[in-house]
Structure 1
Amino acid sequence: MGLPVPAPIDDGDRERVAELLQRACGEGRLTLEEFSVRVGAVWAAETDADLARVAEGLPAQPIVGSSDTVDQILTVFSSTTRRGRWRFRDRTVRANTVFGSTELDLRAVLTSSDVIEITGRTIFGELTVIVPEGVEVDLTGTNAFSSREMRLAPVPRVPGTPEVRIHVTSWFASVTVVSRPPEITR
């Protein structure tokens, strides 16, 4: 007589846990990177116990420092870096760079949106956007006398992660989008 075989889980169970994680991300209890790692585990789960492990340990309250809200970034003759826990005021952030450098690291951004939009202009400067691996990115906009590069890891999209849409006009500039593996382990 062997051990009982656990019943397989269905997509409805996975979707409920993914929605729980998305709400936690929107409330500031998970970063986009933490959300990506956990939601990837949701879709890889084979049993109820696997799903329970993915959802365990969610902070009950927003993490300290997670209330820094941004809707516009202006960089002129300088450099700006956004890292760590931060949140978009809504789903769009405007990033304008003139004779400077702007780096936006979205791995720890807090959002409950299905789409993250970055719009703006880069003139005689550079814009770098860092996303977690497995996030889909769409890069569009006018590109004159500039370079535009997408360096995304060849991994499948993690279901449930937001799409990142970047629409930037660039003149004599460099626009780079790069994915990096998670720094957290779970």
Structure 2
Amino acid sequence: MSQDQPGDHLSIRISNEDRERVAQILHNAMSEGRIEVAELEERLDAVYAAKTFADLEPITRDLPVTSTPVPRPPSAPAPVYSPVSGSRIVPGAMPGPGNSIAVMSGVERKGDWVVPERHNAVAVMGGVEINLTHARFTAPETTIQCFAFMGGIEIYVPEDIHVIVDGFGFMGAFEDKSMGAQAPGRPVVRITGFAMMGAVEVKPPKKRHLRGSDRREIED
């Protein structure tokens, strides 16, 4: 009976969960000053392009982590999702940018844009605004990974999107003021991450003033 040789697991295909675990290691490394913003963006691009554990291993080789994540036993297959007419979920659509990074500056994502399955928002002494009011999604569940250091990230979520917020704030805030509820066919947006001397706020869309067919946004 043959035995697995060291490194055999590196050829195994990785899951989205494996990518998210490595992405969290990178965000932690940046918050500790081990890597810079430009390095974070470059490494995150490599994480989400990775196909196997061998692709992930070099990304955290110089960071204080044990090793590339060990593959977990396969779980039950996910149910097949069939979008309904008029759904916000558009599998196969060309996704928008995967990163929103503001360093002593500001970045906005709004309007009719297609949100990728994973989106990274980083605010370092700057501000990021992500408005999902008219957004569409490439998958039934989307993850927005946030990191705010002496900066702010605002995410506007309408009522027809179910949002799950599980981030953490240290000398900062990670607040959920959204009003969306879970319902069949609605996209799920998971917002996670870390705020240090900064804030991540999840809240309802900006109020709208209607006059005939014209609309304009009014700041809260």
TM-score of the superposed pair, with normalisation by structure 2 = 0.51
Segments of 5+ residues of structure 2 without an aligned counterpart are: 1-80, 214-220
Segments of 5+ residues of structure 1 without an aligned counterpart are: 1-14, 29-61
Are residues 1:114 and 2:140 paired? yes
Equivalent pair of 1:133/1:181 in contact (CA under 8 Å): no
| Equivalence for 1:96 | 122
- Cα gap change, 1:94/1:156 in structure 2, threshold over 3 Å: closer, same or farther? closer
**Count of paired positions:** 130
Once the two structures are superposed, residues 75-112 of structure 1 have per-residue CA deviations (whole angstroms, 9 ceiling, x without a partner) of 00011111111113x30101111001111001111214
| Equivalence for 2:162 | 136
Are residues 1:70 and 2:97 paired? yes
| Alpha-carbon distance, 1:68 to partner | 7.2
Please state whether the residue corresponding to 2:204 is helix, strand or coil. Answer: strand
- Cα gap change, 1:112/1:148 in structure 2, threshold over 3 Å: closer, same or farther? same
Equivalent pair of 1:131/1:178 in contact (CA under 8 Å): yes
| Equivalence for 2:172 | 146
Once the two structures are superposed, residues 144-170 of structure 1 have per-residue CA deviations (whole angstroms, 9 ceiling, x without a partner) of 0001221123x6444311111011211
| Equivalence for 1:20 | 85
Q: Which amino acid in the other structure matches residue 119 of structure 2?
A: V
Q: Which amino acid in the other structure matches residue 142 of structure 2?
A: I
TM-score of the superposed pair, with normalisation by structure 1 = 0.60
Q: RMSD of the TM alignment (CA)?
A: 3.1
Which structure carries more strand by proportion?
Answer: 1
Q: Which structure would you say has the larger RCO, counting Cα contacts within 8 Å and 6 or more residues apart? A: 1
| Alpha-carbon distance, 1:126 to partner | 0.6
1:160-179 paired onto structure 2 within 5 Å: 160-179=185-204
Q: Percent identity among equivalent residues?
A: 21
Q: Distance in 1 between matches of 2:183 and 2:204?
A: 13
Q: Which amino acid in the other structure matches residue 159 of structure 1?
A: P
